[in-house]
Structure 1
Amino acid sequence: MVGVVRAVAPWVRTRLRTAPVPAVALFVLVGITAFLCAAFPRAVDAYEGEGLRHELGVAVADQSALRFTAAPEPAYDPADPALRKAVSPREMTERQRRIVRTLPEPLRADPRESSYGVRTQRPMRGQAPGLTELDGGTPAFTLAAPAGLAEHAAVRSGRLPKPRAAAPYDPAAEAVVTSATAKALGIRVGTVVRVPRGGGEPLAVAVTGIVEPVRPAGSYWSVQPVLRTPTLLYTDGMPPAPYWHGTLLLAPEAAPALLALENEAEPYWDVAVDPGGFGAHDLDAARRAVAAVENGPVLSELREAVSPELQVISGLAEIFEEYAKLRGAIGPVVSVAAFGVGGVIGVVLLTAGGLAASRRRSELALLRARGGSMPGTAGRLLAEVAVPAVPAAVAGGTLAVLLVPEGRLWPAVLATVLVTVVACVALPLRAVLAHRRPRPSGGRDDVVRARPSRRRTVAELTLLVLAVAAVVAVRRRGTADGAEQGVDQLVSAAPVLLGVVAALALVRLYPLPLRLVARPVARRRGAIGFLALTRAGRAPATTVLPLLALLLALVTTAFGGSVLAGVEGARDRAAVLSVGADARVESAGALPKGLAETVRKLPGVTGVVEVYRETDLSLRDGDDAHGVTLLAAEPAAYARLARSTGLGGFPAKSLRRPDAGPLPVIVSPGAAERLGSGPRTIGPLSAALTVRVAAVRELTPGLSEGDFVLVDAAALTGPKAATTLLVSGGSVAGGPLRAAVREADRAQEARVALRSEERAAFAESPVQTGAERVYAVAVAAAAGYAVLALLLSLLQAAPERIALLARLRTMGLTRRQGRRLLVLENLPGSVLAGAGGVLVGWAVVLVLSPGVDLSRLAHASGGTALSRVPVELTVDAWSLLLPGAGVVVLAAGVAAVQAWLTTRRSSTTELRVGDSR
């Protein structure tokens, strides 16, 4: 009789069926973590690529284009058939195609905005009846025969020039001009402009039409702005006299007629570079490509294919250089957030694996006692974890790639793989470490009794040395030093290393306060406090991982909040300094009467300060090269504004005019040094003032740069109408204010500036806004994982606490006392994490502040106001204190909920026969 062997149930399937909740929780955790880790590098690539395209898009057209010219030889015959063929439309188009095909990647031509043709090298005077003549004489003209004129211009009157072939010495030609040129130079349809021609009669150019550019801001019209808009030129005499300079646009077929002009004509190809062809990591390749085109093998190849005299001019190298500095300054700051969040995520994943291993300690010990090998047990646990973790990681990484389509693929894949590996090996690794050798049951392994091993001591000292080295590197080199060569990993990891060292130090110091507090509590009548402290001291020594996760999260949140607060504060400060108030209305001359009263009645306006401003005030010290600005205002109103804006506040009485004696003034440091401490006479003879320095202030409302002298407006001789209005009001709207100014100022000389608009202009680059968004998400993610780490640590000890509470209830412990016990038991650890996070976060900000450069993150390009405002890490109270307090409150709340749920159950439900808890 053949025996029937019953198949052994598969381990993984059995575990997933009997415990589906942990598997689902692991699936969610790994999926969200993989999504965040894969999306982070792609988000950085996305905003960096957008920033590069933005820099190219906003650059001046003649800087962002490749401008090729084929200068004529020193002596040439305009009637040479080969020369005429070289400037024919067909040949010019073919050369344009060769240039475009030869451009190396990632340089790509934008065919819609590129232009080519033939033009005169220098402007030439033209004669025609009715032309507008300035002091410098008759207008000068550039004659150009661009290709594609019909596609880039709309005819407003007349017609386009006829496309007929011309000879070099044809007596006449047809052209069109833009509406701006026609208006400024007095040209009409039918005007004939005569342009001198070497050795013959002038070329008569008949204007057949007036056109309007289709895309006037595009490169077709903006690489050479004179094609679109006339400019002023000046004669060489003294004083220089102005005269107009415009352009006559001929048909491409008329290009041979330009060869015989007095100023030689030259073929040109203005290739507009397509910004859409650039990605985040095309910068280095683009810089190499530009170098090859400007003075390298590509230029040599083009000279062989197009013209031996081909020259190229471009500002792309400067654009790329400036963008590299911007990205290099912001990248290291963002990498700090990446290291912080990455450290928190790794510790949380390890904590989750440790929680699973501790919950299954008895099961794994029994399996080892029955002969299970460590490799076999680890393999089973690895397969068990991999079933939910691998699909979750793949799904999270795929979702990140789909939602953030721009960016390199390999960093996202690498991040997903790292998350998968950490999530899968956490449980098997912890199980192997805990059960590699038999351990006696009942032994204590808590934070009070546990003694760190020598290996742990060596590891902690190594981390301490790395942390000190990172701090020294940050303070000596800074985040911006050598940023173009890549991110300094040691500098970026400084906050994380400090957090790790602080967590290890707190774990070592944790027993000391417990013992100190336990002694007086033990003398009290109640047993709840002493029991809670004793239970807190019996917490497993493995609580270092949750504490490490909490501290890293709190440090990352504090550091990130400080970065954002420093950037926001610098922008606010610079905007206030630039405008002087919430809004400013100023004019070169006197403002219209009644404008101040009109502005006061506008919605949202809370105050208006009238200021008389006069530049180039003479201090009568013989140094007129350094100008000083005179500001005159009503002392009380101006003092209130100075205090509210934080720009050199002062008491109003220090500025009021006295009955006798010199006039008190408030001056800048430079003016104070020139005036001295005694009375001085300043100003012109007709309005001289005898003044003495009452106070020195570096800043003052209404003046963003330069030295100043502030006086009481009542002290000025003669009526002085206000030239500037400083408007206060947090809700001042630009539309009504500008409408009121336009209504009062018919000459349209007054200018309006708003603090909100000035502040918004500081963050003009997508690199700035993208980095800020990434930082905000990193701070939020760190806070979320901190909450998760706290919950995992509380869940780890939940079964033992529930069983203990059930036993104590059988001994007479009331429900209220049981709830107090669980809450008090959680307080020492949560207070340790919260207070430690606050202190470490504060210390990290103070220690690293000198080496963290936030200037480029606050503003992509510098300015007068920005250069006077320091941009540095600022301790943000909300991001520092709120997360720490939240840890304590959340821990107490979870403990209270656990106690409430436990006390509602029967004790017999928790105390089952054979339960080892």
Structure 2
Amino acid sequence: MSIGAAVRRVRAYGGQFLLLAVLTLVVTLLVSGVPRLVNRLAEQGLRAQLTSEPAARRDLSYTSAGRNLSTTSVTGSARDKFDTLAEQMPPAVRAAVAERWYNVDAMPGRVIGPDLKARNLLVDLGLRAMPGVQEAGTLVEGTWPNETFVPDRPMEVALDADVARKLNLRAGSHLQIGHATRTGITDAAPLVVVGLFRPADRADGVWDGLPPLLRVTEPLGDGEPFVAVGVVAGVTMDKRAAAGWPVRFGWRYRLGVDNIDSRRLNELIDGLQRMQRSTPPDVELTQGVDVPLRAFAAEADAARTLLAVIAAGVLATLAGLVVLAATLAVRRRRAEFALLRARGGGTTAGARRSLAESLLVVPLAAALGWWLGTLVPGPPDPTVPYAAAATLLVTLALPLATLAVPAGGGARSDLIRARPSARRLTAEVSLLLLAGLAAVLLRRRGLTLGEVDPLLVSVPVLLAVAAAVLALRAYPWPLRLISRLAARTRGSVTFLGTARAGRSAVAAPLVVVVLAIGTAAFCAVVSAGVEASRDRAAERLVPADALIRGERFAPDTADELTRLPGVRAATPVLEERGQRLATDDLGTDARIAEAAVLLVDGPGLTAMTEKSGVEVRVPAALRTARAEPGPLPAIVSPAVAADLTRARLDRSAFISVQGQRYEFRVAGTAESFPLLPATTGRFVILPWQALPARNTTPVPTSLLVAGDRIDAEALRQAGDQGQERYQRTGAVTGRERPIGVTVDTRADVRQALGDGGANGVLAFGFVAGAAGGTVLGLLAIAFTVLAGARARGQVLSRLRTLGLSRRQWRGLLLVELTPLVGVSVLTGALVGAVLPLLLNPVLGLSAFTSGIPVRVAFEPGLVAAVLALGAVALGFAVAVEALNNRRLRLGEVLRLGEES
């Protein structure tokens, strides 16, 4: 048992130990490197998602209610509160804060002066004390407001240069500020513009406070003022507050993109919730960062759960390959261990020898694999215990295989007993029952996404092993029948090949092949299901080639759109949220929860989907509705239908649309409807073409467009013009300008669903699982071939001696290996196709499809992929067998005997 002897044996069997070392290296590399890569992809996705949002979306904004203060220093109070609020934040939130600002605002007051009067401008000016403004801005004229208080000196203010130019102000402009009245202003105080500045970086968060400091707020209507904000010194604000002018505090804390750890999102979200609940009574907290964080966390949890399933399949396959490698190594050294026992060695003598050899190879390979994994960029996970456990198990694989070697060596091992032992049957039946029970428990119990659930990772492995056991029991019987039929025909190739295939003992190798191919097929099927569900989600959100959303469009906007190049058709849509249902035309409340109302032109929407090639079915009640007396046929959500039935209003109810009430009846229900988000659980869909005539007709709030090579900018301009025409020709006109329209094309929506967020992690899981499963499956097939190579070599040697030609030899090899490879590949593909049907409800993949449930269906391409993989696997198996026979030289195999 000396180290030197162990080293010599390792060198003598270098190929076998090299294979074991490579498998160990791969296992520890995956355990160490894959979590780092996944964390890096998750961080990249999180940064991309947060960066795509407005920077102000990451602000935690505290404000105080406007009130009169008589404190000697309001800026000092704001500074003290600024630090206190930061200290009260939960640790996870405080660690994510990258920038922070505070300011004190005096409520806008009416300003008058010669420069404003020259252009007849009506202006309200707010005053803001904001530390750090001198570092963030650059003076272009004048000076900054003086921080030293001088009695009887006018208040000094600095304005953004663009704001000043728009208001016809300059450095040195003298103004009066006070409360606006019908005859002028009261409590007037002198004010002078002492400087004009420009921001050093307009994207700097210091400028994001509201009301905006770098632009003028336009009037909301006729006779309304422009609103601007100027910068004053802290002492000026103290003076203004002491005079009784209402002031407002503002504290903003911006979360940094690089400060948010994707692995601790739940802690951050919980911290934001606690802040929302424990906000001090004298301040108000406004934040919206939890919305994108929750969306990303849902995607990341679903992706990590799916990765756990894929990793279980890959690691189980690698474990099977380790077992096969150890078994092959021990099988080649069976005579050595038998001789060791014959010379007086104990039962564990061979195992101790194998353990010494494993300790020389496996730990070093494991350490190398772990080190290579640490080179993968990305934050690490605490995976050292898993790597240590894997190293220990691989180290013990060879000694345990040695203990399993039978004492004798003359029995043939290439035959399967016609009647397996009761022990084996019991084990196999128990395995099948355990797999079925685990699958049922997983479906009934569900799981917590984002966590490695032992039941979740064990179910795919158990089902794959159970399917392999069934295949092992089933596939020899038809082969034996074919062999009997082939015995009656001329030629020996088919008979001998099927006979040997029906008697081959390949239990462990076939299980490993099924695991590997099942993992690859699972990834392919789920990936195809997610892609198809994303297509449906895009069609639901935009059931045409483009969707224009706005406030209200002129009725002729759809006709104007059809005149644009490439536009074939356009149809109007009207959507209003939060409408109350009534029992009569007078508006008597039905005491039913609010619902969204959607008006669609049934025939127009049907034609639109056909011209756009969208697979969206419009209910017949909406397509065939006509203008006639009585309630309108409506499609409602199940929740609304249940409420109406309970209130006995399913035959007649009323809902308001743009100020007009329309009577409707329930003509059908739908779980969801195009144009509405998947989360909308309460809605009423009315047919536009069947609306009764009224004094005022509804106008669209959205427009669907069908066409080829649509110019989104042209659609945007046409939509803006349609809104402006409505504003000019509507019953109520004013100076308020409508918000610009948004144009979403179906192609852009589909691309957005597949980009950003945790999609990088999901794509990595699919690619790595499919590629890894395929490669490991081919490697397992190679082990399967090598497991019976010695016996096949002896048979082929005898048959070649009896006159078997080289062509017949290749045919015999092909016939013998085809059933084995075909059964293993088909069984693995079947397992991979069934697993998504079982696991899909608990994986939470709808987070990647805008809430649309992922449907896993049969894909014709999977059949072609399985056939191609089977052909490749068969060619690979034949090539491995041919190379092995060439290395062994069949004549020597025959001369050396059974156990050579």
Matched, 1:12 2:3: no
Range moving further from structure 2, 321-330 or 770-779: 321-330
* Aligned counterpart for 2:571 among listed residues 603, 607, 611: 611
Distance in structure 1 (CA, Å) of the matches to 2:790 and 2:367: 33
Matched, 1:488 2:453: yes
Q: Secondary structure at the match of 1:276?
A: helix
Q: Secondary structure at the match of 2:405?
A: helix
| Conserved? CA contact 1:629–1:708, under 8 Å | yes
Pair 159,558 (structure 1): closer, same or farther in 2 beyond 3 Å: farther
* Aligned counterpart for 1:503 among listed residues 465, 468, 473: 468
Matched, 1:346 2:319: yes
Distance in structure 2 (CA, Å) of the matches to 1:622 and 1:95: 54
Matched, 1:709 2:687: yes
Output the amino acid matched with 1:813.
L
Pair 130,505 (structure 1): closer, same or farther in 2 beyond 3 Å: farther
Corresponding residue of 1:115: 101
- Which sections of structure 1, spanning at least 5 residues, go unmatched? 1-6, 301-308, 601-606, 685-690, 713-719, 860-865
Output the amino acid matched with 2:285.
I
CA offsets, 1:385-424, max 9 Å, x none? 343433332222222222233132x21x334334423332
Output the amino acid matched with 1:553.
A
The Cα of 1:174 is off from its aligned counterpart by: 1.7
The Cα of 1:376 is off from its aligned counterpart by: 3.6
Distance in structure 1 (CA, Å) of the matches to 2:689 and 2:16: 75
Output the amino acid matched with 1:145.
A
Matched, 1:373 2:353: no
TM score, norm. by length of structure 2:
0.78
Pair 40,8 (structure 1): closer, same or farther in 2 beyond 3 Å: closer
The Cα of 1:746 is off from its aligned counterpart by: 11
Pair 33,878 (structure 1): closer, same or farther in 2 beyond 3 Å: farther
Q: Secondary structure at the match of 1:270?
A: strand
Output the amino acid matched with 1:599.
P
Pair 140,828 (structure 1): closer, same or farther in 2 beyond 3 Å: same
Range moving further from structure 2, 561-570 or 849-858: 849-858
Corresponding residue of 1:870: 853
Corresponding residue of 2:733: none
The Cα of 1:818 is off from its aligned counterpart by: 1.0
| Conserved? CA contact 1:132–1:184, under 8 Å | no
| Conserved? CA contact 1:647–1:699, under 8 Å | no
Range moving further from structure 2, 247-256 or 792-801: 247-256
Output the amino acid matched with 1:40.
V
Corresponding residue of 2:660: none
| Conserved? CA contact 1:196–1:261, under 8 Å | no
* Aligned counterpart for 2:388 among listed residues 414, 417, 420: 417
Q: Secondary structure at the match of 2:489?
A: coil
Pair 246,440 (structure 1): closer, same or farther in 2 beyond 3 Å: same
Distance in structure 2 (CA, Å) of the matches to 1:552 and 1:564: 18
The Cα of 1:147 is off from its aligned counterpart by: 0.9
Corresponding residue of 2:680: none
Q: How large is the RMSD of aligned CA atoms in angstroms?
A: 5.5
Distance in structure 1 (CA, Å) of the matches to 2:791 and 2:346: 28
Output the amino acid matched with 1:148.
G
Distance in structure 1 (CA, Å) of the matches to 2:602 and 2:418: 74
Distance in structure 2 (CA, Å) of the matches to 1:241 and 1:464: 81
Distance in structure 1 (CA, Å) of the matches to 2:546 and 2:884: 58
Corresponding residue of 2:420: 451
The Cα of 1:161 is off from its aligned counterpart by: 1.9
Output the amino acid matched with 2:262.
A
The Cα of 1:242 is off from its aligned counterpart by: 5.8
Distance in structure 2 (CA, Å) of the matches to 1:878 and 1:439: 50
The Cα of 1:539 is off from its aligned counterpart by: 1.9
| Conserved? CA contact 1:158–1:209, under 8 Å | yes
Distance in structure 2 (CA, Å) of the matches to 1:132 and 1:55: 44
Corresponding residue of 1:599: 565
CA offsets, 1:27-81, max 9 Å, x none? 3333233222322222333344455556665666666445567899987454xxx
Q: Secondary structure at the match of 2:611?
A: helix
Q: How does 1:739-750 map to 2 (within 5 A)?
A: none
| Conserved? CA contact 1:38–1:415, under 8 Å | no
Output the amino acid matched with 1:757.
D
Distance in structure 2 (CA, Å) of the matches to 1:392 and 1:498: 31
Distance in structure 2 (CA, Å) of the matches to 1:148 and 1:158: 19
Pair 253,634 (structure 1): closer, same or farther in 2 beyond 3 Å: closer
The Cα of 1:99 is off from its aligned counterpart by: 6.9
Pair 666,355 (structure 1): closer, same or farther in 2 beyond 3 Å: farther
Q: How does 1:807-822 map to 2 (within 5 A)?
A: 807-822=798-813
Q: Secondary structure at the match of 1:379?
A: helix
Corresponding residue of 1:313: 285
Output the amino acid matched with 2:817.
N
Distance in structure 2 (CA, Å) of the matches to 1:850 and 1:252: 59
Distance in structure 2 (CA, Å) of the matches to 1:904 and 1:45: 45
| Conserved? CA contact 1:583–1:727, under 8 Å | yes
Corresponding residue of 1:688: none
* Aligned counterpart for 1:777 among listed residues 751, 768, 771: 768
Output the amino acid matched with 2:31.
C
CA offsets, 1:663-701, max 9 Å, x none? xx9985789x99x9x9xxxx99xxxxxx99999999998
Q: Secondary structure at the match of 1:812?
A: coil
Q: How does 1:188-267 map to 2 (within 5 A)?
A: 188-196=170-178, 202-224=188-210, 226-229=212-215, 231=217, 244-252=226-234, 254-265=236-247
How many residues are paired up? 848
| Conserved? CA contact 1:197–1:203, under 8 Å | no
Distance in structure 1 (CA, Å) of the matches to 2:834 and 2:62: 57
Pair 628,86 (structure 1): closer, same or farther in 2 beyond 3 Å: closer
Distance in structure 1 (CA, Å) of the matches to 2:146 and 2:804: 105
Pair 638,699 (structure 1): closer, same or farther in 2 beyond 3 Å: farther
| Conserved? CA contact 1:668–1:699, under 8 Å | no
| Conserved? CA contact 1:845–1:875, under 8 Å | no
Distance in structure 2 (CA, Å) of the matches to 1:795 and 1:646: 51
CA offsets, 1:222-251, max 9 Å, x none? 3545344555798xxxx9996554322113
| Conserved? CA contact 1:40–1:774, under 8 Å | no
* Aligned counterpart for 2:159 among listed residues 153, 174, 177: 177
Corresponding residue of 1:629: 599
* Aligned counterpart for 1:727 among listed residues 706, 715, 722: 706
Distance in structure 2 (CA, Å) of the matches to 1:130 and 1:593: 50
Corresponding residue of 1:334: 307
The Cα of 1:814 is off from its aligned counterpart by: 1.4
- Same amino acid, percent of matched pairs: 25
TM score, norm. by length of structure 1:
0.77
The Cα of 1:471 is off from its aligned counterpart by: 2.0
The Cα of 1:254 is off from its aligned counterpart by: 3.8
Matched, 1:129 2:89: no
The Cα of 1:813 is off from its aligned counterpart by: 1.1
Matched, 1:149 2:133: yes
Corresponding residue of 2:480: 515
- Which sections of structure 2, spanning at least 5 residues, go unmatched? 577-582, 588-593, 658-663, 678-682, 691-697, 726-738
Distance in structure 2 (CA, Å) of the matches to 1:505 and 1:152: 73
Pair 504,630 (structure 1): closer, same or farther in 2 beyond 3 Å: closer
Distance in structure 2 (CA, Å) of the matches to 1:460 and 1:125: 85
Corresponding residue of 1:558: 521
Corresponding residue of 2:410: 441
* Aligned counterpart for 2:495 among listed residues 501, 506, 530: 530
| Conserved? CA contact 1:815–1:903, under 8 Å | no
The Cα of 1:22 is off from its aligned counterpart by: 3.1
Output the amino acid matched with 1:399.
L
Distance in structure 1 (CA, Å) of the matches to 2:88 and 2:572: 61
Q: Secondary structure at the match of 1:843?
A: helix
| Conserved? CA contact 1:34–1:419, under 8 Å | yes
Distance in structure 2 (CA, Å) of the matches to 1:733 and 1:376: 80
* Aligned counterpart for 1:469 among listed residues 437, 441, 463: 437
